[in-house]
Amino acid sequence: MEMLLAILAVVGGVAILAWAADQFVLGAARVAIVKNVPTLVVGVVIVGFGTSAPEMLVSVLATVGDEPAVAVGNAIGSNIANLSLLLGVGALLVPLVVDSRTVKREALLVIVAVVALGLAVQGDGINRWEGVGLLVGLVLALLVVSRQSPGDVLGDEVAELADTGAHRFSVEVVRTLVGLAGTIGSAQLLLWGALDLADEFGLSGGFVGATLVAIGTSLPELVTVVQSARRRETDLIVGNLLGSNLFNALGVGAIIGIIGGPPLDDTSLTVIAASASVVIAVVAALAMWTGRTVSRLEGAVLVVAYVALIPFLA
């Protein structure tokens, strides 16, 4: 009976999380655009932060609950899933042409960010000073990537996604708050169910965080990938995944370190998963730069690579 409840908690948490986080991102983007925030900044900051909000909330809850492996595994695992599984799925739906100068800058910053997180988790995990360093890195990265590029296609695609034409400001504020509340509640539900299943099957917290929890918290990115693929907004797909990785590596990593917690002792995370996140970030960036397109073949390779990596994280 307890295992059934845990499964229902995971399934319910994931389902609510996908809907709530999508509403949070949509509402926040519309509110920002109505208030005349440049669409390019909305795409980088609002959408990037919004889609990584589930990872942030789950990692905060896990850190406070003395589950550092789940917290770190969620951050690193989501980064891996974003640039292998989700980027691959997006490329299989439609070849991802990358024209945005902003996205290309973002790709370089993501490589630096995942390397910084990988270094920070070595030893006993992320300490407070490393957390502060990651936070400073996030601020600097956002300043660089939000620099205005006149005519950048990413801004136009963000405006199409938000579709602010006939929407009331007050309604979008309510949408944002409801989405945030739903994200918080479903993140707690997902974490509770995942930890119970880990205990039931004898799985490590790091493995559960890097796989089950990471995939669950990456669903908002998947929703954006599918929506954008239908509109062939390929720069938005790539920009969304890269922006989420920036916040995961630097923002989530910073919060884990600043809150503090028990030492982290899981080499599958600190060595294998951290190294894999760097390799995948480099491979994904090369795929974007070669011919400015992530092809369907490259997408299939990324999906296969993700599936092949899973057993090594146990």
pLDDT tens profile 258-287: 998 788 888 888 899 999 999 999 998 888
- Domain positions in the chain: 2-313
154 within 8 A of 43, measured Cβ to Cβ: yes
Largest CA-CA distance found in the chain, in angstroms, rounded: 58
Distance CA 106, CA 245 (A): 10
The continuous run of DSSP H or E covering 113 comes out as helix 101-120
Give the CA dihedral 65, 311, 9, 176, nearest 10 degrees: 80
CATH code at 2-313: 1.20.1420.30
Quick one: tokens of 4?
A: 């059934």
How many CB atoms sit inside 10 A of residue 65's CB? 14
Distance CA 225, CA 214 (A): 16
pLDDT tens profile 60-114: 888 888 888 899 999 999 999 999 999 999 999 999 888 888 788 888 999 999 9
pLDDT tens profile 216-273: 888 778 887 888 888 788 888 888 888 889 999 999 999 999 998 788 888 888 899 9
pLDDT tens profile 107-145: 899 999 999 999 999 988 899 999 999 999 999 998 888
Q: Which of 104, 109, 52, 47 is nearest to 77 (CA)?
A: 52
Single-letter amino acid code for the residue at 12: G
Distance CA 162, CA 23 (A): 11
Share of the chain above pLDDT 90, in %: 31
89 φ/ψ angles, rounded to the nearest 5 degrees: -60, -45
